[in-house]
């Protein structure tokens, strides 16, 4: 049997930009331990069954499969979320939506909607930070709704709920003080779809027409029917789509339209307020 140190040294992930971290995460998961355990007990021998799991994990990562799908878990905001191949992997840039939403409204009671919730990441982060809010997350994929609800139950967040809906289709008559969404915004045929993690993520959660704006257009058009006066709409979009999204918001009648920068300095989200 090989030791922890030997397995870490022998493992190769040449194509990964975070090879050392990936190897440590995969071995820790195979052992059912934390990464700190690997550093504390490098001389410990690894049972053959765990070594086989580690080898299988490595093979999947070498094929390009994202770590989050291999481990079935991804951190977002302050939460640890279960993920699956029918949902997008929550990304740090999307935390900007959460930060902006929290800055717009206080902890007073409010109805909040997360469109295309996926794992429930945005909805659950908001529900965790604002106990007085009632947060609803919707997704047209039933498996995603089930996964989001499972995350909610595990995190014991009673002020969040999830249901199946294609955007606003199941929400007739419902209005909210805040609507947030990280919708599909990649153009069909974009070469990035065949690169990196995107190869493994569901295209239905990524692609939105020829220019990537089909779903954003629909959300902006229909949101006024579901916003209270002075309510806010927040949208994540591509790094080069901010101007187009601001124009769509303004043309629909939204006020106080602006965009915000992500961690990489790109205009990643745009927002607008529905008039009084």
pLDDT in tens, 237-272: 988 899 999 999 999 999 999 999 998 899 999 999
Query: pLDDT tens across 63-97, in order?
Result: 888 889 999 999 999 999 999 988 888 988 999 99
CA-to-CA distance for 81 and 119, rounded, in angstroms? 7
Token pair for 134: 């009632």
Q: Domains plus CATH for the chain?
A: 4-64 (no CATH), 84-273 (3.40.50.150)
Q: How far is CA 64 from the centre of its chain?
A: 19
Query: In terms of pLDDT, which residue wins out, 19 or 44?
Result: 44
- Tell me what pLDDT residue 13 has: 73
In whole angstroms, how far apart are CA 208 and each of 173, 189, 196, 273?
A: 26, 10, 19, 24
Q: Is the pLDDT of residue 199 over 60?
A: no
Count CA within 13 A, CB hemisphere, residue 82: 13
Region 126-149: mean pLDDT is 97
CA angle 196, 208, 68 (to 5 degrees): 35
pLDDT at 189: 60
Note the pTM of the prediction, 2 decimals. Answer: 0.85
Closest CA to 227 of 119, 105, 122, 120: 105
């Amino acid at each position: 049997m090989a030791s922890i140190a030997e397995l870490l040294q022998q493992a190769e992930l040449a194509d990964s930009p975070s090879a050392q971290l990936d190897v440590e995460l995969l071995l820790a998961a195979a052992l059912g331990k934390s990464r700190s355990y690997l550093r504390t007990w490098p001389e410990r021998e690894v049972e053959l069954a765990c070594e086989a799991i580690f080898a299988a994990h490595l093979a999947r990562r070498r094929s390009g499969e994202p770590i989050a799908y291999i481990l079935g878990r991804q951190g977002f905001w302050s939460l640890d979320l279960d993920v699956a191949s029918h949902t997008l992997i929550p990304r740090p840039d999307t935390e900007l939506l959460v930060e902006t939403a929290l800055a717009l409204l206080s902890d007073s009671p409010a109805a909040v909607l997360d469109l295309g919730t996926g794992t429930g990441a945005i909805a659950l982060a908001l529900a965790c930070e604002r106990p007085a809010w009632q947060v609803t997350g919707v997704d047209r994929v039933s498996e995603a709704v089930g996964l989001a609800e499972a995350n909610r139950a595990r995190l014991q967040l009673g002020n969040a709920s999830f249901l199946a809906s294609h955007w606003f289709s199941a929400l007739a008559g419902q209005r909210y003080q805040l609507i947030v969404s990280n919708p599909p915004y990649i153009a069909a045929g974009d070469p990035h779809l065949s690169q990196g993690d995107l190869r493994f993520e569901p295209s239905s959660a990524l692609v939105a027409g020829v220019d990537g704006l089909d779903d954003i257009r629909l959300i902006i058009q229909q949101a006024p029917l579901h916003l209270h006066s002075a309510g806010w709409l927040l949208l994540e979009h591509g790094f080069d789509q901010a101007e187009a999204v601001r124009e769509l918001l303004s043309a629909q009648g939204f006020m106080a339209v602006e965009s915000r920068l992500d961690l990489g300095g790109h205009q990643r989200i745009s927002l607008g307020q529905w008039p009084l």
